Amino acid sequence: MSSEDVRDVGRRTELAEAVIARLAATPGVVGVRSFGSLASGGADAYSDIDLIVDLDDISDRAFALDLPGHLASLGRPLITGWGLNRLPDTYVRTIYLADYPLFWHLDIGCAGPRHEDDADLGRRYHWPQIFKMWIAAVKEQVRGRPERTDAFLTHLEAWADPSRLTGPAAVRLGQSLELCAERARGRGAPCEEVYLRCSELRAAWLPDWT
């Protein structure tokens, strides 16, 4: 079975349940809530896992920083990133586990009475962000929502030469992975494993990208 095969959605349910159980047993956590398409019943095979962790006597920032470690027993993380658009008001960790399809990543928000501001966090270089954006664009392209692809390809123009990409938007999206990798490598990011997994995703869902 391909690493990016999403047909067995029961695996995703099991993962979500395991994550919730693990977080619920973590000191400082008073509740774990599911939201998004899985909670509403509107999920499809490509949907990710959205959770909110309610905290009591620990700051949201401290818990968010430690969150990958709390989930280490569930599998090796391929990407541990941040929901940068929610900073500095809300800390959201994005975690992609190596043994699960990239579409099934975790988005975990941290909420509690002790908010600790870290405005500098959003200004740092987060090299996984470009791959996360690319994965999200592929997901929406597969769903038949090409608007995300158009937005992503426009975003590339800020730091890459879009004339290197040719063909329909879905084809250019596949080609753009190479630009993402070049950008990350140029900044010295340890991105090779992430790039290879994204290449698997591309082969599975954008087979006509060349």
Distance, CA of 9 to CA of 47 (rounded, Å): 9
Same domain, 141 and 156: yes
CATH classification of the domain holding 91: 3.30.460.10
If pLDDT is split at 50, 70 and 90, which confidence band does 8 have?
A: very high
> In terms of residue numbers, what domain contains 184?
128-205
At 175, which helix (H) or strand (E)?
Answer: helix 169-186
What are the pLDDT digits (tens) for 144-177? 999 999 999 999 999 999 899 999 999 999 999 9
Output the average pLDDT for the chain: 95
Residues 100 and 147 in one domain: no
Q: Is residue 83 part of a domain?
A: yes
User: Please, are residues 92 and 83 in contact by the beta-carbon 8 Å criterion?
Assistant: yes
**C-alpha span between 208 and 146 (Å, rounded):** 16
Give SS3 for 53: strand
Same domain, 19 and 103: yes
Which pTM value belongs to this model? 0.96
Residue 80 domain-assigned (yes or no) = yes
For residues 62 and 157, membership in a common domain is answered with no
Structural domain ending residue among the three candidates 107, 123, 139: 123
Segment 14-42 mean pLDDT: 95
Q: Name the band, by pLDDT with cuts 50, 70 and 90, for residue 119.
A: confident
Considering the domain architecture, whether residues 41 and 95 belong to the same structural domain is answered as yes
Q: Is the pLDDT of residue 141 over 60?
A: yes
d(CA 40, CA 44): 11
How many distinct structural domains can be found in the chain?
2
The answer to whether residues 173 and 82 belong to one domain is: no
Chain segment 173-198, per-residue pLDDT in tens = 999 999 999 999 999 999 999 999 99
Angle between helix 147-156 and 169-186 (nearest 10): 40
Q: What does the CA dihedral 116, 120, 186, 4 come to, rounded to 10 degrees?
A: 30
Which pLDDT value is given to residue 32?
98
Give the pLDDT of residue 1: 55
Last residue within a domain, chosen from 106, 123, 140: 123
Q: Are residues 28 and 99 in the same domain?
A: yes
144 plus 118 within the same structural domain: no
Same-domain status, 135 and 100: no
**Residue 85 scores a pLDDT above 70:** yes
Let me know whether 197 and 168 are in one domain: yes
Q: What number is the average pLDDT over the span 24-44?
A: 94
pLDDT at 69 over 60: yes
What does the alpha-carbon distance between residue 175 and residue 198 come to, in Å, rounded to a whole number?
Answer: 12
Non-local (6+) Cβ contacts of 198 within 8 A are 102, 131, 134, 135, 177, 180
Q: Is the pLDDT reported for residue 27 higher than 90?
A: yes
49: amino acid identity, one letter = I
